[in-house]
A and B are shown apart, each in its own frame.
Chain A
Amino acid sequence: MAEVYIHPTAHVDKTAKIGPDTKVWINAQIREGVVIGGDCSISKDTYIDKDVQIGNNCRIQNGVSIYTGVTLEDDILVGPNVSFTNHRVPRVFMENWTIDKTLICTGVSLGSNSTIICGVVIGEYAMVAAGSVVTKDVDPYTLVMGNPAMPYAKINREGEVIELIDQGKSNG
């Protein structure tokens, strides 16, 4: 079992727990209370906020921000510059910052530069196309795309399209 690798420029809080074989790359910041499983890759410029939980074998690409309230299960791909949020209507002068939780289930892929608005559940093995804005729950084994993201196809674990979804019939 290999050890955790942390690049010398990364900032990892001493209270964060990181599993075996996980690699943390250049200028990544991992904050207090974060738990990350084994075999993960936390790429350059990534920010992982306080108390975020990430499972095993996740690939977080460059420039991703994961905020408190977001949970990632296992085997998840987060594409470059994906943004999560944790408040639906942020105003800087607000005093009560409530956090809406977001759950990304096992096997999900989030495409490059997509945006996940907080309060949603993205079901297992679902896929979000590049640049999409996810505003509501995504069913398992479903490919969504666009702004707002709409169901496009049923897919399998490997991400192959099984059946297109009729846009007129979908309740998306």
Chain B
Amino acid sequence: METSIHDTAIVDEGAQIGEGSRIWHWTHVCAGAKIGPSCSLGQNVFIANDVVIGRNVKIQNNVSVYDAVVLEDDVFCGPSMVFTNVYNPRSHVSRKDEYRRTHVGCGATLGANCTVVCGVTIGEYSFIGAGAVVNTDVKPYALMVGVPARQVGWIDRLGDRIDLPLTGDGMAISKSGRERYVLENGICQLTEESKNG
């Protein structure tokens, strides 16, 4: 698919946009932004300069991706969700040299209207519930809900729950039957053979 930029979108000169990405109404991409191929940026999205976005990332309406945010491949940002980059903003204090970096791992889902407080790493394929407020690092495959966000379970690559305890060790097969997840000392991982299969 060809890259498409809607007539009303503003893409500043120098911005890198991968092949097949689509940029919709009234969206603004700043000059320093790097956006991979096959992405979709919805209505009213804002991408700042110091932002790197991987391939096949879907950003829904009204999301602002501010400086110091990195989104890896296949990340989903729900409508009106919020990133930040200053932890303790005061209008009368300049904190442009105090940005805290936010890193969102491959395949993660950030639910509608959720808030990601800056300085955290969100693990691959984790799932942040709608309206949640994340202010700590999130483990890969963790399902997080509430304010502040707490882990309530594990979720697989397709978005089905993984039947494992929050702590300790264990093993579970995904609902699809195609993937095997191993929990070791409270860390959930997809087994290598599942990744390759």
* B80 with A91: CB separation less than 8 A: no
Complex Cα gap A27–B111 (Å): 24
* B78 with A83: CB separation less than 8 A: yes
- The CB with the most chain B CB atoms within 10 A, among A65, A94, A114, A117, is that of A65
* B113 with A81: CB separation less than 8 A: yes
* A63 with B74: CB separation less than 8 A: no
A89-B43 CB under 8 A given contacts A27-B26, A29-B25, A147-B146: no
* A115 with B130: CB separation less than 8 A: yes
* A65 with B158: CB separation less than 8 A: no
A residues 45-104 in Cβ contact with B at 8 Å: 45, 47, 63, 65, 67, 81, 83-85, 88-94
Interface check B189, CB cutoff 8 A: no
Q: How many residues of B contact A (CB 8 A)?
A: 36
With a cutoff of 8 Å between Cβ atoms, the chain B residues found around residue A94 in the complex are 158-159
Interface check B75, CB cutoff 8 A: yes
* B62 with A45: CB separation less than 8 A: yes
Q: In the complex, which residue of chain A has the Cβ closest to the Cβ of B131?
A: A133
Interface check B85, CB cutoff 8 A: no
Nearest Cβ distance between residue B20 and chain A, in whole angstroms?
Answer: 14
Interface check A159, CB cutoff 8 A: no
* B160 with A89: CB separation less than 8 A: yes
Nearest Cβ distance between residue A130 and chain B, in whole angstroms?
Answer: 11
* B109 with A133: CB separation less than 8 A: no
Complex Cα gap A117–B132 (Å): 12
C-beta contact mask, A102-134 vs B, less than 8 Å → 1, else 0?
000000000001110100000000000001110
Which of A45, A93, A133 contacts B129, CB < 8 Å?
A133
Nearest Cβ distance between residue A85 and chain B, in whole angstroms?
Answer: 5
A91-B25 CB under 8 A given contacts A83-B79, A133-B130: no
Complex Cα gap A92–B159 (Å): 10
* B80 with A81: CB separation less than 8 A: yes
Interface check B57, CB cutoff 8 A: yes
Nearest Cβ distance between residue B185 and chain A, in whole angstroms?
Answer: 27
A63-B76 CB under 8 A given contacts A29-B25, A115-B112: no
Nearest Cβ distance between residue B26 and chain A, in whole angstroms?
Answer: 5
* A92 with B113: CB separation less than 8 A: no
Q: A89-B159, A90-B78, A132-B131 are in contact. List 19 more A-B contacts (CB 8 A).
A: A27-B44, A45-B43, A47-B44, A65-B43, A83-B79, A83-B113, A84-B79, A85-B79, A85-B130, A89-B127, A89-B158, A91-B158, A91-B159, A114-B113, A115-B131, A131-B131, A133-B113, A147-B145, A147-B146
Residues of chain B at the chain A interface (Cβ within 8 Å): 8, 25-26, 42-44, 56-58, 60-62, 74-76, 78-80, 107, 109, 111-113, 127, 129-132, 145-147, 155, 157-160
Nearest 10 CB-CB pairs, A to B? A89-B159, A133-B131, A115-B113, A83-B112, A115-B131, A65-B79, A83-B113, A115-B130, A65-B61, A83-B79
Q: List 29 A-B contacts (CB under 8 A).
A: A11-B25, A47-B43, A47-B44, A63-B62, A81-B62, A81-B80, A83-B78, A83-B113, A89-B109, A89-B155, A90-B76, A90-B159, A91-B158, A92-B57, A92-B58, A92-B75, A92-B107, A93-B56, A94-B158, A113-B113, A114-B113, A115-B111, A115-B113, A115-B130, A117-B112, A133-B113, A147-B132, A147-B146, A147-B147
